[in-house]
A and B are shown apart, each in its own frame.
Chain A
Amino acid sequence: MIDYSPFLISFEVAISTTLVLGVVGIFISYFLAFSKSVWADIVEPFIMSPLVLPPTVLGFYIMYIFGLQSPLGRFLNNIGIHLLFNFNGLLLGSIIYSLPFAVSPVVSGFRSVPKSIIEASYTLGKSKFYTLLKVIIPNSKYSIISALVLVFSHTIGEFGVVLMVGGDIPGKTRTASIAIFDYVQELNYKQANITALILFAIAMSTLIFLQILKRLQER
């Protein structure tokens, strides 16, 4: 009998993370792609850091910053916001960990929009925000879709950060990738195999979808 709850939790986290980063990622990408401020150069390495940091390092610092040891964690706790060892923790960890996947393709997409069409929009009396909505986003749609697909699939398979920030609470924070680890610990290879195969199928579908998208973009 398959335990579906880890999949439901994984999907819930992945969909929520994709929705949040779908909006937040656009604005961060816009800032990184077009800002001439030195802040863009300072912020970019921090956003991209999950690509090179071990997930446990990131998980540890998220735990530390939002835990009761830190002033911020104590403040949030006092106003009733608990970000560790619950769904919110999973979501927070996933958002931070998947941020580079949401931002990197979109920054490249935004930067490849010809400067003259952006300027044409300004000279036609439109604001930067209107230009972003009507010109920059539609002309970067393949990059944005790629980013969203990457965020979704990456979040589905995330292990280290969600384990440290969310814990491994069955039915609450045990995601599919954590469940595989637990099944192996219990020597339940059959369940581990079924869960792993489903995650494998999701990952492959994502890559095939991205490949199709790449072909469409090249046309």
Chain B
Amino acid sequence: MMEIRIETKFFKFEINLSKSQILGIVGPSGIGKTTTLRAIAGLEEPKGKIVVDGEVWLDKNLSLAPKKRSIGFVFQDFALFPNMSVLENVAYASSKEHALEILKAFNIEHLKDKRPNKLSGGERQRVAIARAIARAPKVLLMDEPFSALDRKTKHFIQDKILEFSKMYKFYTIFVAHDLKDVVRLSDLVFSVEDQKLLSKEEFEEYSLM
């Protein structure tokens, strides 16, 4: 179980997630969606409480450093290490053998020796997702993870995320603008604007309104 009760400058975020559950966060720009992900990662210090599988990451007296939280973070600008090849990026927090398996799974094994500056936006995004998953985190956080992908690749990557989330049993929280992505991937949706937590079905109806 993942329990999050945090208060950012813009809104209160309270939610409980079960293993392998995927939460999409939607809302207008500048409302603090990225800040929420950063707070869960420990890159910001909000007030509140975060407990993941019984391990306290944040409470009144404690705030674990990001390196001590088992997370995979997909940054909006991908944040790939320019001095490393794709394989070295993905193996940064795992082994080379495991990184190769992940690259194969994401269909980007052929890029393994390339540097990030030689990749297209979509390729970089796939590498960033592969790197975050490669360390088998407890929580996968993704900030606009599909923005640079075409429809077909997007669906392929979303299916892979679903597959790995079941395999590694990690909690996934992501931010997206495209409501179709949110509907396709999420089990639950948090609408920041309305401060509402919705099931996938409720959100489908809600987004049609």
Q: How far is the CA of A135 from the CA of B67 in the complex (A)?
A: 15
Residues of B contacting A20 in the complex (Cβ-Cβ under 8 angstroms): none
Residues of B contacting A122 in the complex (Cβ-Cβ under 8 angstroms): 42-43, 65-67
Nearest A-chain residue to B43, judged by Cβ: A119
B111 at the interface (CB under 8 A from A): no
* B83 lies within 8 A of A123 (CB): no
A80 at the interface (CB under 8 A from B): no
Nearest B-chain residue to A141, judged by Cβ: B83
* A124 lies within 8 A of B135 (CB): yes
A139 at the interface (CB under 8 A from B): yes
B145 at the interface (CB under 8 A from A): no
Name which of B66, B69, B72, B135 has the most chain A CB atoms within 10 A of its CB: B66
* A114 lies within 8 A of B135 (CB): no
* B81 lies within 8 A of A123 (CB): no
Residues of B contacting A138 in the complex (Cβ-Cβ under 8 angstroms): 83
* B65 lies within 8 A of A114 (CB): no
Residues of A contacting B65 in the complex (Cβ-Cβ under 8 angstroms): 122
* A116 lies within 8 A of B77 (CB): yes
Interface size class of A (residues with CB under 8 A): 10 to 19
The answer to whether residues A119 and B82 also contact, given A124-B93, A124-B135 and a CB cut-off of 8 A, is no
A35 at the interface (CB under 8 A from B): no
Q: How far is the CA of A195 from the CA of B43 in the complex (A)?
A: 56
Name B74-100 residues within 8 Å CB distance of A.
75, 77, 79-83, 92-93
Residues of B contacting A197 in the complex (Cβ-Cβ under 8 angstroms): none
A214 at the interface (CB under 8 A from B): no
* A114 lies within 8 A of B83 (CB): no
* B131 lies within 8 A of A135 (CB): no
A206 at the interface (CB under 8 A from B): no
B74 to chain A, nearest CB (A): 9
Q: How far is the CA of A39 from the CA of B101 in the complex (A)?
A: 47
Q: How far is the CA of A216 from the CA of B27 in the complex (A)?
A: 43
Q: How far is the CA of A116 from the CA of B76 in the complex (A)?
A: 9
* B79 lies within 8 A of A120 (CB): yes
A120 to chain B, nearest CB (A): 4
Residues of B contacting A127 in the complex (Cβ-Cβ under 8 angstroms): 67
Residues of A contacting B75 in the complex (Cβ-Cβ under 8 angstroms): 116, 119-120
Interface 1/0 per residue, A110-122 and B, CB below 8 Å: 0000101101111
Q: How far is the CA of A124 from the CA of B75 in the complex (A)?
A: 12
Name which of B65, B81, B82 has the most chain A CB atoms within 10 A of its CB: B81
Interface 1/0 per residue, A68-100 and B, CB below 8 Å: 000000000000000000000000000000000
* B43 lies within 8 A of A123 (CB): yes
Query: Which residues of A does B touch, CB under 8 Å?
Result: 114, 116-117, 119-127, 134-135, 138-139
Q: List 15 A-B contacts (CB under 8 A).
A: A117-B79, A117-B80, A117-B82, A119-B41, A120-B80, A122-B42, A122-B43, A122-B65, A122-B66, A122-B67, A124-B93, A125-B67, A125-B70, A125-B135, A135-B81
